[in-house]
Amino acid sequence: MDAQFQISTDEKVINPVCDFTQSWGVNCGLTTGDALRFSVALSELVTDIILFAFPDDSNQNFEIKFFHTFSHVEIVISELGEPFDPDRHTYDAQNALTEGNFDGAGFLLIKTFSDEFSFINKGKKGKEFRLVKNIEVHDIDKLLELSAEQRETKPDSEGDQESTIKLEEFTVSRIKPEDAEDISKLIYRTYGYSYNVEDLYLPKKVEESVLAKDKLGVIARKIDGEAIGYFAVIPKDNSRIAEVGEAVVSPKYRKNGVMSSMMEQLIEIAESKNLSMLFGEAVTVHPVSQKVNNKFGYKTAALQLASSVNVKYKGFDEDYSQPISMAMDFLPILPSHDKKPVYLPDKYSDIILATYDELGINVDPQKVTEYHLAETSDIDLKINYSSYSSLIIVENYGNDFISELSELVDGLEENSPETILLDLPLENSATPEQLHNISELNFIYSGLLPHYHYDADFLRVQKVYSDIDFNLIEIYSDFGKKIKTFVADEYNNNPERSQKS
- Closest by CA position to 371, among listed 422, 435, 421: 435
The pLDDT-based confidence of 292 (bands split at 50, 70, 90) is confident
Among the listed residues 429, 229, 242, 468, the one whose alpha carbon sits nearest the alpha carbon of residue 334: 242
CA 483 to chain centre: 21
Mean pLDDT of 271-287: 88
Per-residue pLDDT tens over the stretch 395-453: 999 999 999 999 889 888 887 888 999 999 999 999 999 999 999 999 999 999 999 99
The residue among 5 and 365 whose pLDDT is bigger is: 365
48 exposure class (CB count in 10 Å sphere: 0-12, 13-18, 19+) = middle
Q: Do the Cβ atoms of 394 and 387 come closer than 8 Å?
A: no
Please determine, for residue 252, whether its predicted confidence score (pLDDT) is greater than 70: yes
**For residue 63, which of 47, 79, 49 has the smallest C-alpha distance?**
79
Pick the CATH number of 144-275 from 3.20.20.70, 3.30.460.10, 3.40.630.30, 3.20.20.140: 3.40.630.30
Q: How many CB atoms lie within 10 A of CB 216?
A: 20
For the cut 60, the answer to whether the pLDDT of residue 50 exceeds it is: yes
CA distance 110 to 487: 40
pLDDT band at 45 (very low <50, low <70, confident <90, very high): confident
% the chain with pLDDT above 90: 38
Question: Which are the contacts of 52, defined by CB distance < 8 A and separation ≥ 6?
Answer: 81, 82, 84
Task: Using the predicted structure, report yes or no on whether residue 17 has a pLDDT greater than 80.
Answer: yes
Read off the pTM.
0.72
Q: Is the pLDDT of residue 42 over 80?
A: yes
Residue 120 has pLDDT above 90, yes or no: no
Which CATH superfamily, name and number, covers 3-134? Histidine kinase-like ATPase, C-terminal domain (3.30.565.10)
Residue 51: what pLDDT? 79
Q: What is the pLDDT of residue 497?
A: 63
Please check whether the two domains, 144-275 and 340-500, share a CATH topology.
Answer: yes
* pLDDT at site 148: 35
Closest CA to 279 of 287, 268, 267, 261: 267
340-500 — its CATH code? 3.40.630
Percent of the chain with pLDDT over 70: 84
* pLDDT value for 47: 84
Residue 112: is its pLDDT beyond 60? yes
For residue 164, with 0-12 CB atoms within 10 Å meaning exposed, 13-18 middle and 19 or more buried, which class applies? exposed
Q: What is the DSSP letter of 357?
A: H
Would you mind telling me the total number of residues written for the chain in this entry? 501
Question: Does residue 313 register a pLDDT over 50?
Answer: no
**What span, in angstroms and rounded, lies between the C-alpha atoms of 475 and 485?**
10
Question: Strand, coil or helix: what is 447?
Answer: strand
Q: Nearest 5°: phi and psi at 228?
A: -125, -10
- Is pLDDT of 26 > 80? yes
Report strand pairing: 116-121 vs 127-134: antiparallel
Can you give the residue ranges of every domain in the chain?
3-134, 144-275, 340-500
- Structure confidence at residue 263 (pLDDT): 86
Average model confidence (pLDDT) across the chain? 83
User: What pLDDT is stored for residue 96 in this prediction?
Assistant: 47
> CB within 8 A of 261, min separation 6: which ones?
170, 172, 220
pLDDT at residue 152 is higher than 70 = no
SS3 for 228?
Answer: strand
Q: Picking from 78-92, 269-283, 350-364, which range would have the lowest pLDDT averaged per residue?
A: 78-92
Q: Is 462 in contact with 420 (CB distance < 8 Å)?
A: yes
455 close to 441: Cβ distance less than 8 angstroms = no
User: Does pLDDT of 138 surpass 60?
Assistant: no
Q: How confident is the model at residue 215 (pLDDT cuts 50, 70, 90)?
A: confident
Residue 128 has pLDDT above 50, yes or no: yes
Cα–Cα distance for residue pair 30/124, rounded to 1 Å? 35
Helices within 273-361 (DSSP H only): 288-295, 349-359
Highest mean pLDDT among 162-176, 202-216, 446-460: 446-460
Mean pLDDT calculated for residue range 173-179: 93
Q: Is residue 117 within 8 Å of 55, Cβ to Cβ? A: no
